[in-house]
Structure 1
Amino acid sequence: MDVIPSVCKNNGRRKVSKDVEMDIEYLYEAVPQLSTVFHIRDKIGEGTFSSVYLGEALMADGRKEKFALKHLIPTSHPVRIAAELQCLTVAGGRENVMGVTYCFRQNDHCVIVMPYMEHQTFVEVIGLLSFEDVRQYIYHLLKALRHIHQFGIIHRDIKPTNFLYNHLEKKFALVDFGLAQGTADTQMELLKVVKQKTQKGGGSVGKPETSNRKRAPPDLTSLVPPPQTHSHPKTSAPHSSSSTSSSSSTKPTAKRVLASPVTSTSRTKNTKDLSGLCRTPRAVFGERNLNSCAPARTIDPTVELVKPSKTEDPANRRFISIPRRPLPVRTPVNNKRTNPTVNLGLTCSCHTTDRVCNVCMSRKQQVAPRAGTPGFRAPEVLTKCPNQGTAIDIWSAGVILLSLLSGRYPFFKASDDLIALTQIMTIRGSKETIQAAGTFGKSVVCSRELPRQDLRTLCETLRGRRPSPDDEATPQDYRDSPVSAGPADEPSGRGGSEDDRGLAEVGVQDERGWNQVPDEAYDLLDRLLDLNPATRITAKQALEHPLFAGL
């Protein structure tokens, strides 16, 4: 989805490329009001549904202030745009959740103005964080999740690029509610509309529409207060497209009258009563309608066919049907293919085979939300569970904590949902995954059993603080082995080797507190990555975890 990536180098004074200049000019033309308030300096982010720009505005007190301008693509659904604005206005501006300052709309273009926060990318800081930094990071992320979950908001796209982090100033901000949905008791009225449209249409309202039908966007500017600026926006006529100008009435009035239903009831000598034609089933190309249940008509076999003479006037010709024997009454034929009636409670037996059984064919296709970023989707999302709640955000937060404790980002990276589910099994265990899937009505089959891994052993191995399982030591051996690779007074004989650099890296990690990671950190990680959403820890419960004692 849409993100606000890293801060511009040199406070945004880097050289702007030609493509960015063209995008800025296009934005000025699409929304002329922006030029009266903002000086757009750079393009700082681009996603599937929007682009983010850095703009400066001269405030009333004479100072310049930076803002992030999020330009949504013109095909975004108006309800989705309004729902995102409602999340920002109601829940934003506090508890580490980004707020909104203003909103511009011109025809089908919408620009959301938000405060700009200088931050670093997750990739830049993940190798520099101490354990205390990680503790603070995950604490403030859970704090933001607790806040939005209290309003019944499911973010659906929790990932590091959507949680801005300023390492120096210790600032945090949760952004991008473009995929947000509401819970059953949500306080966001527009999220209820989004949920109804998603359930009715079977898709996500946030996806671009392919229809060319014009629609009137809602009044989005009434949701937010205007900013304080040094000048008033200039009045400019909105740009009118060619389709708007061509929508005027240019067709003759007579055609409209002919297109309307016939309301006259008068009949003349040559007119016929056509009212019954739409009710009576008509045969196609003269064949008998086998779908009709009407009894067959009996015809007198003595009636003979009278052939018209060649000199007869065609206008006065009379045709008499050929005498035929009555056709046998046939049962109505239904050409539509119907699935065989199968007990839906039966267990499928076609897995690991090259066929599809009738049990699978008789099941209806299940539609469930899949919005989110690959690698951060919860198991219930990957298995298309229809009942998805705020627990999917908690799972994503657990994946972030797993990356922070292991030093690996991204941790999960899969091309499809099945591979993503397999990667989860390698960490949490196949047996546990199958059992958890059964709790929310899903059946998962794995070709072989995958054991559940110890999270501390996994993270410390990936950080280089433990020997790799590929070494001669067994997992039980290196689980209790010392941190250092060997005695400190033993010379390696290879000055500047990889072993020395590894020891130096371990020493740096020790200075950052990675040699004293408490068990509470991995206990919280285990509860965040609970495969069962019903028993997964909530954001409110996680903030009361012993790991955050003193915060």
Structure 2
Amino acid sequence: MRFLNEVEKQFDLTRMVGSGTFGEVYEAYDRLNDRRVAIKRLLPFQTMDAHKKEANFISSLHGKSNIVQRVQSPPLAPNGIILVEEQQALIFEYFEHDSPSDYVKDLTIKEITHYMKNLFVALRSVHALGIIHRDVKLNNFLYDRRNKKYLLVDFGLAEKKMQKTALGISTGQTPSPGRRTTSGSMSKYFPATKSNGYILPSENLAQQIAKRRRLGVRRTNASETVRNSGVKLKRLPVNRGGTRGYRAPEVLMGSHHQTKAVDVWSAGVILLTLLCRQTHCFQWFRHDNDNLAVMEIYGYARCVSLEVSALV
């Protein structure tokens, strides 16, 4: 309550424009500086380090095209951060935008091309600094259709690319030639596209999953240990963050080798969404099992038009 009381000394909270696991976003009017802003209130269970990390990422991207900018709002937030006891909020420029449901069904090919170009302009700046956004999706790439403006927002899940550990385990570097980004080869499970336009997973993957269940094989968690040449090694934690339906296979399968490619995969999901003119292409998987979820992605029917297919 005290937090809101302090905020309302300077800001009029107009409406909530979004909410998620890590916070709530409000449109607000800064009375003392006479402007509209967006206030992201970070939920109390988040650590202060997590708050600082997001703020630092955005600061490092200051002035980059299509990237959200933090704004100074003195006296309460001279550096763009409101801090009241254990609660924190970030102040951003307000960006007028359309809801994806208002444009996803009727964008022209030219508009889709322009949209994707601007998304990759933003991702190029992010990746150039070694940052992985990890939550690229329609709702996080704001689009002002009338003015053709774009903004990549929400760096709450972002992280720096990890370097190799002392054990030589890569957790984020660019793959070397021929190196797999997920454990094992996936290509044998996913044959070429059939003549009817479907990509059908082979029976091998389903058989492997069934075999694992019969034998009682299960996925270990981060606190368990594995043996390697007689040496006990603590299993490294795996980042599975992201939005369901947008996560790359290496995220779903718990690979330690996650790079900026996870953002590119998510951008590809956005492209497919726009081409299919559907807000959710394969967002709602029928399976909790990671492998089956990947299999469902590869088994998804082609939904794009012949006009779009001809562009490939």
TM-score exceeds 0.5: yes
Deviations 1:22-56 (A, max 9, x none): xxxx4xx2154423321222222221121111111
Match of 1:184, SS state, is: coil
User: Is the 8 Å Cα contact of residues 70 and 113 (structure 1) preserved in structure 2?
Assistant: yes
How far apart are the structure 1 equivalents of 2:106 and 2:62? 29
Match of 2:104 in 1: 126
* Among 27, 42, 46, the residue aligned to 2:19: 46
Match of 1:112 in 2: 90
2:54 equivalent to 1:84: yes
Give the alignment of 1:317-356 within 5 angstroms.
351=211, 354-356=214-216
Give the letter aligned to residue 297 of structure 2. Answer: I
* Among 61, 74, 77, the residue aligned to 2:44: 74
Match of 2:30 in 1: 57
User: Is the 8 Å Cα contact of residues 31 and 106 (structure 1) preserved in structure 2?
Assistant: no
Q: Give how far 1:406 is off.
A: 1.4
Match of 1:118, SS state, is: coil
2:267 equivalent to 1:422: no
Q: Give how far 1:115 is off.
A: 0.6
Match of 1:409, SS state, is: coil
2:9 equivalent to 1:136: no
Deviations 1:478-529 (A, max 9, x none): xxxxxxxxxxxxxxxxxxxxxxxxxxxxxxxxxxxxx4x4744x3xxxxxxx
2:10 equivalent to 1:165: no
2:269 equivalent to 1:399: yes
Give the letter aligned to residue 459 of structure 1. Answer: V
Match of 1:34 in 2: 7
Give the alignment of 1:54-453 within 5 angstroms.
54-58=27-31, 64-101=34-71, 102-184=80-162, 351=211, 354-356=214-216, 367-412=237-282, 413-414=284-285, 415-416=287-288, 417-427=290-300
Deviations 1:260-303 (A, max 9, x none): xxxxxxxxxxxxxxxxxxxxxxxxxxxxxxxxxxxxxxxxxxxx
User: Is the 8 Å Cα contact of residues 350 and 356 (structure 1) preserved in structure 2?
Assistant: no
| Max Rg structure | 1
Q: Report the CA distance shift for 1:80/1:36 in structure 2 as closer, same or farther (over 3 A).
A: same
How far apart are the structure 2 equivalents of 1:48 and 1:374? 13
Q: Report the CA distance shift for 1:353/1:164 in structure 2 as closer, same or farther (over 3 A).
A: closer
User: Is the 8 Å Cα contact of residues 137 and 246 (structure 2) preserved in structure 1?
Assistant: yes
How far apart are the structure 1 equivalents of 2:37 and 2:209? 58
Mark the runs of 5 or more structure 1 residues left unpaired by the alignment: 1-25, 186-194, 196-347, 428-452, 466-514, 523-551
Q: Give how far 1:411 is off.
A: 0.7
| Bigger mean CA offset, 87-96 vs 389-398 | 87-96
Q: Report the CA distance shift for 1:151/1:48 in structure 2 as closer, same or farther (over 3 A).
A: same
Match of 2:201 in 1: none
How far apart are the structure 2 equivalents of 1:36 and 1:76? 24
How far apart are the structure 2 equivalents of 1:134 and 1:375? 20
Q: Give how far 1:84 is off.
A: 0.1
Q: Give how far 1:169 is off.
A: 0.9
| Bigger mean CA offset, 400-409 vs 416-425 | 416-425
User: Is the 8 Å Cα contact of residues 93 and 100 (structure 1) preserved in structure 2?
Assistant: no
Match of 1:459 in 2: 304
User: Is the 8 Å Cα contact of residues 44 and 52 (structure 1) preserved in structure 2?
Assistant: yes
How far apart are the structure 2 equivalents of 1:177 and 1:362? 32
User: Is the 8 Å Cα contact of residues 28 and 37 (structure 2) preserved in structure 1?
Assistant: yes
- Which TM-score applies when normalising by structure 1? 0.42
Match of 1:48, SS state, is: coil
Give the letter aligned to residue 214 of structure 2. Answer: D
How far apart are the structure 1 equivalents of 2:87 and 2:241? 23
How far apart are the structure 1 equivalents of 2:141 and 2:159? 18
Q: Report the CA distance shift for 1:93/1:58 in structure 2 as closer, same or farther (over 3 A).
A: farther
Of Structure 1 and Structure 2, the greater strand share is in 2
- Which TM-score applies when normalising by structure 2? 0.72
How far apart are the structure 2 equivalents of 1:149 and 1:75? 28
Mark the runs of 5 or more structure 2 residues left unpaired by the alignment: 72-79, 164-171, 173-207, 228-234
How far apart are the structure 2 equivalents of 1:38 and 1:79? 25
Q: Give how far 1:367 is off.
A: 3.5
How far apart are the structure 2 equivalents of 1:95 and 1:375? 27
User: Is the 8 Å Cα contact of residues 375 and 420 (structure 1) preserved in structure 2?
Assistant: no
Give the letter aligned to residue 264 of structure 2. Answer: I
Give the letter aligned to residue 377 of structure 1. Answer: R
Deviations 1:294-321 (A, max 9, x none): xxxxxxxxxxxxxxxxxxxxxxxxxxxx
How far apart are the structure 2 equivalents of 1:349 and 1:172? 42
User: Is the 8 Å Cα contact of residues 10 and 32 (structure 2) preserved in structure 1?
Assistant: no
Q: Give how far 1:184 is off.
A: 3.4
Query: CA RMSD of the aligned region, Å?
Result: 2.7
How far apart are the structure 2 equivalents of 1:388 and 1:356? 28
How far apart are the structure 2 equivalents of 1:106 and 1:93? 28
Q: Report the CA distance shift for 1:349/1:37 in structure 2 as closer, same or farther (over 3 A).
A: closer
